[in-house]
Each structure stands twice: as C-alpha cells, then as structure tokens.
Amino acid sequence: MAGAVVRAGIVELRRGSRLHEAIAAAGGGAPGADPDQLNLAAVLEDGQQVVVPRQGETVPAASAPVGGAGARGSPGSGSPPAGGKINLNTAGAEELAALPRVGPVLAQRIVDWRKQHGDFRRVEELDAVDGFGPKLLEGLLPLVRV
C-alpha cells in the first residue's frame, strides 16, 4: 500500500481479499485520502501495489489497481463512478478489462456492443454480450452500474 494511508508498506492478506481490506490493514485512509477514486470492492492479486490518492490527486494509471482489481477513474473514463461501481456506459476497454474475469477481449466486446446497440439500460443486459454467462454476470453485478 502506498499513498494516503496511515501505514504505507506491504500488507499481507488472504487470497481473494478486496481493496477495502488492504486499506484497513494499512491503518485506514490518512487525513485527506480520496479512496472514492478506487474500486474498494476490487479483488487484489499477489504482488499488486495500490496507491490511495489524496483529494485533488489523480491515481496514475501505472499505480492504479490492475489485474482484476478494477481501477476507478482511470484515463478515458470521465469521472469516477458513484457508489464505487464502474459505469458500463462510460468506461473504456482498459477500465472494463480490470474487472474480475473480464480481461481485454471481453472488455472490447462490451465496448463494441455499446457502440452497436447504444447504452446499456440495465446491467443485466451484459448477458447479450458474447462471452457473458450467468455466473460471470452474477459476479459483476456488485461492481458495475449503468
């Protein structure tokens, strides 16, 4: 953990832990922290570095959660999604690819579907995108919004 946390450094968590647990393990956000730029529900991977930004800072793409963590407010996404969820209608392929079990190919399919059909009206419409099944959709419901 780095940035605006009470105790920056390495934190050890069980496999499958989420970003909010890592911040808590680092003593929580420091005064002036802006964790709303991050997807606090993101599942972390071993060896991943996360930078918690301060208010007014932007998380550099290189230090934002990657590899399934679901960075929020990454370049091309406009503003950070409300409520800690990625907006399917405004997120770019890079931001969508950071969602658990999505990856770059499926993320591009989401973007392509959106270009062809227009904005998603409901998150459940993801099942119309080739490669989405009920289990994947169920896992993404708490992480995405329209």
Residue 33 three-state SS: strand
Please give the average per-residue pLDDT across 65-82, as a whole number.
37
pLDDT digits (tens, 9 = 90+) for 33-50: 988 888 888 888 877 778
Please give the average per-residue pLDDT across 15-42, as a whole number.
89
- pLDDT at position 119: 93
Cβ-Cβ contacts under 8 Å for 63 (sequence gap 6 or more):
2, 3, 49, 50, 51
State the DSSP code for 62.
Answer: T
pLDDT digits (tens, 9 = 90+) for 88-145: 998 888 888 888 888 889 999 999 999 999 999 999 999 999 998 888 888 888 888 8
Q: Are 112 and 124 in contact (CB under 8 A)?
A: no
- pLDDT at position 84: 65
Q: Taking the complete model, does pTM exceed 0.75, yes or no?
A: no
In this prediction, residue 67 has a pLDDT band, given cuts at 50, 70 and 90, of very low
SS3 content of the chain, % helix, strand, coil (to 5): 30, 10, 60
Q: Are 98 and 71 in contact (CB under 8 A)?
A: yes
Instruction: Tell whether the model's pLDDT for residue 27 goes beyond 90.
Output: yes
